[in-house]
Structure 1
């Protein structure tokens, strides 16, 4: 046995993955703001995959043209799991924000085989409590992953002259009926009206509703 291995055993404070690092394994809860933001991102563009020794990779796929979104995802992960690095993996057109941990399934019990829209997505009671405490950050995660803020326009005749009017609106699209219901519920928590132009598309279009959602979400960048 090499001396370096013996030194590693001697100097190691504890196991590489200590169960006490996970708040849920010690009857606690994750930090509400970063967690619900990351939960929104995960439900939209995230996944968990199991690797060696039951260590899971959390991957959040972010469009590379939105560096602020990437930074926020990395920051949320770092707050929740501060003892390990957060990786940014470049791919064609997107950047995966990646973190490895045995306890990611504890924080995301919605993990399971197959696409999210083909299985039930239900929140645990503790997740609902955290979202009620920070609904705006949950909406930020959802809209930053599967939503957008777009500029629409229309024309109207005023005193015989055709004038163009521009107005912003938000759209959120997801094939999962359960995730769509969660988005609707979070909007109701902050009293923002919404409508469903299609089964898989939610719209926030009224001027006062867009203004109310802007402080929570805003344009992607």
Structure 2
């Protein structure tokens, strides 16, 4: 590291203690930003001051946030999301099909709208894209976080979360379907004028092992007037089906297939 005289260092520390960012201090004194960062760290250590990462967490700061984006992101999290919260590793991840670029973009956008300050990145694995936002404060926004898999513990919304969902029912449903749902075309045959003809019809499925998460989904469908049924497929009882024409039309209007 380049050596600088004590006068320059004292000026830098004085500016930093006024709350001036490292970048500005470095520009004003014409010194590397890394040097400024090191001096800031040393100054904090000398004063016994613990560093706290800046946050724009709505729960911790009382800041207004985009509740429409949050209702959608909550649905994504309950379906295909998880939170890592360790001493030096904190992030929210939403897992997306790599071919569904619209979903990948929507997940990243929702994260940024709820908390703009944390960085959002993507990690690519074969067939999958993990959209990640780095901050320990996602546990504040999703108190459903806990040890183990979501279907192995109770999942219930906090009153403030339920208020947001009730105000933005369709966004919550859209997030759930975009994570653990799909729109397919079923077919059957019927006799018409003595001739058997093929008949096709669209249908939505939502599949989740958690009884609590399925109940959140169906309770929200009930509030929207969507008719649904339980459906066991291949011995799997974890499916919710929407097949009635009027209900499918509503889902097509507000959700649509993933892309």
**TM-score if structure 1 supplies the norm length?**
0.91
Residue 54 of structure 2 aligns with which residue?
Answer: 18
Question: Structure 1 residues 31, 75: closer, same or farther in 2, change over 3 A?
Answer: same
Secondary structure (helix, strand or coil) at the match of 2:140 reads helix
* Secondary structure of the corresponding residue to residue 203 of structure 1: strand
CA distance in 1 between counterparts of 2:9 and 2:166 reads 48
- Please, which moves more after superposition, 186-195 or 2-11? 2-11
Structure 1 gaps, min length 5? none
CA contact (8 A) 1:156 1:165 kept: yes
The aligned residue for residue 110 of structure 2 is 76
State whether structure 2 residue 75 is matched by structure 1 residue 44.
Answer: no
* 1:21-69 deviations in Å (ceiling 9; x for gaps): 111123456421100100000001100002444x521000000010000
State whether structure 2 residue 235 is matched by structure 1 residue 209. no
Distance change in 2, residues 1:206/1:5 (3 Å): farther
Deviation at 1:12, TM superposition (A): 2.7
The answer on whether the counterparts of 2:67 and 2:114 sit within 8 Å (CA) in structure 1 is no
**RMSD of aligned residue pairs (Cα, Å):** 2.2
Secondary structure of the 1:113 match is coil
* 1-structure distance, mates of 2:9, 2:120: 26
**Is the radius of gyration larger for structure 1 or structure 2?**
2
SS in 2 for 1:129: helix
Relative contact order (alpha carbons < 8 A, sep ≥ 6): 1 or 2 greater? 1
TM-fit CA distance, 1:98: 0.3
Question: Corresponding residue for 1:64?
Answer: 98
Secondary structure of the structure 1 residue equivalent to 2:254 = coil
**Equivalent residue number for residue 226 of structure 2:** 192
Q: Distance in 2 between matches of 1:113 and 1:102?
A: 15
- The CA deviation string for residues 136-187 of structure 1, in whole angstroms up to 9 with x for no partner, is 0111110111110000011111101111111000000100000000000111
Q: How many residues align?
A: 218
Give 3-state SS (helix, strand or coil) of 1:89's partner.
Answer: strand
Contact 2:139 2:145 in 1 (8 A): yes
Tell me the distance in 1 between the aligned counterparts of 2:243 and 2:108. 30
**Alignment partner, residue 142 of structure 1:** 176
Q: CA deviation at 1:5?
A: 8.7
> Matches of 2:189 and 2:130 in 1, distance apart?
41
Q: Secondary structure at the match of 1:110?
A: coil
